Structure 1
Amino acid sequence: MAYKGQPNFDHRQPRRIGVLITNLGTPDAPETGALRRYLREFLSDPRVVEVPRLLWFFILNLVILVIRPPRSAHAYKTVWTEEGSPLLVHSQNQLAGIRERLKQQYGEDVVVKLGMRYGNPSIPSQLQEMEDEGVRQLLVLPLYPQYSGSTNGSTFDALAKDFMQRRWLPDLRFISHYPDYPPYIQAMADHIRVFREQHGSADKLVFSYHGVPKRYLLNGDPYFCECHKTSRLLAEALGLHEDQWMTTFQSRFGREEWLQPYMDATMKALPGKGVKSVQVFCPGFSADCLETIEEIDVENRGYFEEAGGESFAYIPALNAEPVHLDALTQLIEDNLQGWEPEDNHVATLEARSARADALR
């Protein structure tokens, strides 16, 4: 194996701290070709689809990548903005806000980047930029509050795969999850409270999370439990009674059983149970994307209203709201404890040498 090196590396280069924020990713354009490339990378990840590789190769390439890209491209066109993909735009705004907050604390000694697990900007490209800028201590924050092997675990896989090709590795810290982190819970509670002060409340507040196959839970994935823990803590922070809120799971794919209750089935059933108004919030999504804008606010709104529901409101994700950026920055700072950037390695070596001379 040929390892990536730094032929122009200077040992006098100042050592810097790096913070890499990651999210799932997005296609480069709402077009069939771009969706096919994105879906091929996404659905080829064995963490995402745990099916025997040979069987899945034929299913993916002969069926899914033929049928799904045109449909997905159409859906993305409905949410695409002038600035681009909503997920990328919100993520870039989050990056800018966190970078500015960390700059106030650390100055220019902390390098903050954004990498996407699938698509661009890729995690390897951002790791290379950070290495070129002198990052020797790296903190990685995947913006998935609840741990799942298919998201947080897959992000670590991408880091490990890249590091296997590098000659010199940085010190590494990885925030694997934060489902019960108090500032995150409080940020969501404040965000929902402001929305309800402006728009009123509803019969039921529904917390919707991205689903995964039930088989993952049975094999030890903690995602289901962490989602319920987040919901419980958030409901407590809002002062809600048990009959005022519930947890659901969306975005299931294929024929096998996924985590329940299903969001779509719930929206179809609630009006028949006397629930005429709902508000929906997605605690597992750090930024609005296709799954929140189109699947929740369009598709599931339709299910609820067709079943006799009278009022459906989607509460936007935290996105780049100040309360969210403050919580994420605090989470980062908590995990940077003990790391201090060095202004200059030469000065550090000279100081160590002087101390050694004094002890002789």
Structure 2
Amino acid sequence: METIKHRIDTRLIHAGEPKTRIHGAVNLPIFQSSTFEYTGQSSYDDLKYIRMNNTPNHVVLHGKLAALENAEAALVTSSGMAAISTTLMALFSPGDHILVQNCLYGGTQDFITSDLAPLGFEFDFIDAADPKDWDAKRKSNTRGLYVETITNPLLQVGDLKGLAEFAAAHGLIAMIDNTFATPVNFRPPEWGYDISLHSCTKYLNGHSDIVAGAVIGKADLLDKINHKLVHLGGSLDPHACFLLHRGMKTLAVRMRHQNCSALAIAEFLADHAAVERVNYPGLADHPGHDRARQLLEGFGGMISFELKGGLSATERFMQRATIPIVAPSLGGVETLVTRPAVTSHAGMSPAQRQEAGIGDALIRLSVGLEDTNDLTEDLDNALMG
């Protein structure tokens, strides 16, 4: 897939766009048609149809997404979980073994443990920062490795370079969920990852008004994933494609503001008397800080933290904060606050959450585009209540 050889800010605007603008339109129109006229295609896969993921709205997005991470190919899906589940089912078979990072988005972990495992897929959880653990758990039937760039919700940063090298050395398909980092801060194909996954609902779209996903990576693997996606029906609607296309054009300016604002807020929280612990890779005392500095071009807009006083203090804080909206999801222009134990990781059992280090009182903060000083003042007032 052709890419524009410019910096990411320029690629976000121009990569993948039609070379001849459609009737001169600067913005790609919405092709709200499920069916397209037959023009002599000899292959079923070449027929234009929404479920085939190949309408003009889809094609432009695929080119732009591939260019953003300097990958061979990309495709969009109806949700982040559609991207994740379809990828795993397309690339692996019952009896295959996958190494999985031990702290993931709850939906991903639940799909692997509750849906794939009963079908005969095998897995082991690994410490993404410990190469000895990867080697100890690798088996003769190990076929893949699955990690997150910055984990949800504890903001861990594993040995991402080492993991990709380990996968390559042992012939494993290396997959990484890059949602929290975005292509602005990390581009997995440049580091040797075969597949990069995104919930485009979050930062890529950035406006909390669609649900979408993306798979980016090697063309031969994307062909397999797209074939499975067509069968499962997880394609993205053209109107959602249009909104994602529009939202992505401002990703770089949004993400850089959120990088800076989140770092300032994390530093404020770390120094606050009411706060017990802050998880943010931009803080010098974060266990993965040195790796994050080497790997990432920004530390992201996500923070998680715990308060002194436990769950009662957490609930009081969330009630008193006036700017953050108490809601699940993340990555939009508005600041959101939630408890992962009852939202993103509610599908895990209490024992699983405890083992992963996700306490009932943990707070996850998605920093939006509001003024940073307004946010810190509001958080300070809520913490002092």
TM exceeding 0.5: no
Q: Which gives a bigger RCO, structure 1 or 2 (Cα 8 Å, sep 6+)?
A: 1
Instruction: Determine which structure has more spread, i.e. the larger CA radius of gyration.
Output: 1
Give the alignment's TM-score, normalised by structure 1.
0.29
